[in-house]
Structure 1
Amino acid sequence: MSLKNEIIVDTVPDSQISVIFVKSAIEENEKIYGPIFTRIASEHALQFEAEKLMDKPPENIQNLQEVTNYIINNLDKYPNGYCALMYGIAKAESKLQGSTGAGSKRSAFSAMKSIIESSGMLNSVIGTTGDLFEALDKFEEIGKMVKTAIPLRFIRGENNEVTMVSKNCPYKDACRAFINEGIGRLVGGQECINIICHAAVAEIITKKRFDYKLYEFDKPECRGKIFEV
């Protein structure tokens, strides 16, 4: 077992790769909810992106691929365009479930698992550790290689818990929109894209079950915890 108790990630994600990755998450969620999920997510992602560009949503954009192309073509103006798709996912889940939360966490897990399995990005580390901290360490190393890792700090705790701290999270635009619209967890508390993804990845690698809680947002750090259940 690793003796270190802290992981510091200081890389910036590749915007286009991140957009494509989040698009894949929408496509995987369609397998759970049906085509209506993609339609709702695409509509709200387009609206979000247009507002960030201080533009009117183009009327000729009709589907997810066209929305994705619109976002990619404007990354020079809004580099965090993947936030538009993340917002679209949350809005679709909110409308179809009534709120995000336990259901969305499991759908995020299912979507993430499907993407990872089809890409093979974690094939070499699945089942290699039951320790949450080590699993996150392995994932961050892969994230650096595929250029999706974002600035984060992980602190090992007791009882297979990890505190996750982000000072300059590139997903904050989406999270702020969640707060403004009252999109939260069914079980209470605020949603966090980072923690959802990392909890899901931890489950895939360790084959254990985890939950999470965000207890500080944008002050200016975001701070939360992932823990075994």
Structure 2
Amino acid sequence: MVDFNISDFKMFEEAPCVQPDTRAITELVMNGVKAQENMYGPVFTAKVIDYALRLISSQIGEEKPDIKTLDQLTEYLLSKEGKFPPYWVVLWAQFKTEKKFEGHRGAGTRLMDRGISRRVMESNDDLRSDLIKIDVENVLSKLRRATIEMKVAPLQMGYKENEDGSIDVLFQDCYFLDACRLALNEGLLKRADGRMVCGVFALVCQYLKKATDREWDYTISIFDKPNCVARCFMF
């Protein structure tokens, strides 16, 4: 565990709701799965559906329905919202399927991240900034506003700029935390180099990439309740 002091972070406005809009966040995650479907084909979709239905069936004790498409899966999971968070199910099923296809989180993960970030960035056409000095607050505040307007923002978000040009980004009370713990315990969250995967921090890096026209990556330094922190860096 690295040293952590929340007073070092500049915090953005708190999200108006502790939990995201269930339909909005489920459809956002499903956007990422659909991006992977374009790469792997219908067999990937069939596996995601199968894993999702197996999980929900084991949790609520109902037989699996006959579902063929991701849109049908979305509606079914939303109908069970009171029993199990739909976006957890989709995320876990995607993790499970990609592990089956690739052995670790790799090219498919990047496609999923892009599918999600494209949806969020559609409302921001003015992200490009001075490439010599990036206006971190401007870029991240646009991300924060976009996710709040879409009703998918974690409760708290902050950042800290480092002397080496990297940025530490903080999310508090992330709604994916328990789903990530479930996946982590099953060995589903590791990239090929052993680092942990996080779609929320990947979205931050996509925003920074659009603003700077340079590639960004992240390394998670704190994964705990209520705080998740990642160091985002240009390369």
For residues 87 and 16 of structure 1, what CA distance do their matches in structure 2 show?
A: 17
Identity among equivalent pairs (%): 21
Structure 1 position 121 matched with structure 2 position 123: yes
Q: How does 1:70-85 map to 2 (within 5 A)?
A: 70-78=76-84, 80-85=85-90
- Structure 1 residue 155, shift from structure 2 partner: 1.8
Superposed CA deviations along residues 132-154 of structure 1, whole A, max 9, x for unmatched, are: 44322211111111212112322
CA distance in 2: counterparts of 1:137 and 1:154, whole angstroms? 10
**Aligned residue type for 2:161:** G
Ranges in structure 2 where 5+ consecutive residues have no aligned partner: 1-8
Q: Are 2:160 and 2:169, in contact at CA under 8 Å, matched by a contact in 1? A: no
Partner of 2:24: 17
Q: CA deviation at 1:199?
A: 1.7
**Is 2:173 the partner of 1:168?**
yes
Q: Which residue of 2 aligns with 1:135?
A: 139
Aligned equivalents of 1:178 and 1:213: distance in 2?
A: 18
What code does the residue aligned with 1:58 have?
Answer: K
**8 Å CA contact retained: 2:130, 2:212:** yes
- In structure 1, the residue matched to 2:6 is none
SS in 2 for 1:59: coil
Equivalent pair of 1:133/1:156 in contact (CA under 8 Å): no
More displaced stretch, 167-176 vs 39-48: 39-48
Identify the match of residue 35 of structure 1 among 42, 56, 75.
42
Q: 1:208-219 alignment to 2 at 5 Å?
A: 208-219=214-225
Q: Supply the RMSD in Å over aligned alpha carbons.
A: 2.5
**Cα distance in 2 for residues equivalent to 1:178 and 1:197:** 19
**Residues matched between the structures, number:** 220
- State the TM-score, normalizing by the size of structure 1: 0.83
**AA matched with 1:112:** I
1:153 aligns with 2:157: yes
Closer, same or farther: CA 151–51 of 1 in aligned 2, 3 Å: farther
Alpha-carbon distance change, 172 to 202 in structure 1, aligned in 2, over 3 angstroms: same
Q: Which residue of 2 aligns with 1:26?
A: 33
8 Å CA contact retained: 1:9, 1:150:
no
Return 39-48 or 167-176, whichever deviates more: 39-48
Q: Closer, same or farther in 2 for the Cα pair 1:205/1:73, shift >3 Å?
A: farther
Q: Do the aligned partners of residues 87 and 129 (structure 1) sit closer, same or farther apart at CA in structure 2, a change above 3 Å counting? A: farther
Measured in 2, the distance between the counterparts of 1:91 and 1:74 equals: 21
Residue of structure 2 in register with 1:203 after alignment: 209
> Which deviates more, 125-134 or 208-217?
125-134
Question: Does the aligned pair in 1 maintain the 2:117–2:203 contact within 8 Å?
Answer: no
Q: Distance in 2 between matches of 1:127 and 1:57?
A: 50
The list of structure 1 runs, each at least 4 consecutive aligned residues, that deviate by more than 4 angstroms after superposition, is none
Distance of 1:44 and 1:69 partners within structure 2: 16
**1:53-92 CA deviation, whole Å, 9 max, x = no partner?**
x3235232333222111111122333x3212111222222
Q: Could you list the runs of 5+ residues in structure 1 that have no partner in the other structure?
A: none
Matched, 1:47 2:49: no
Q: Secondary structure at the match of 2:128?
A: coil
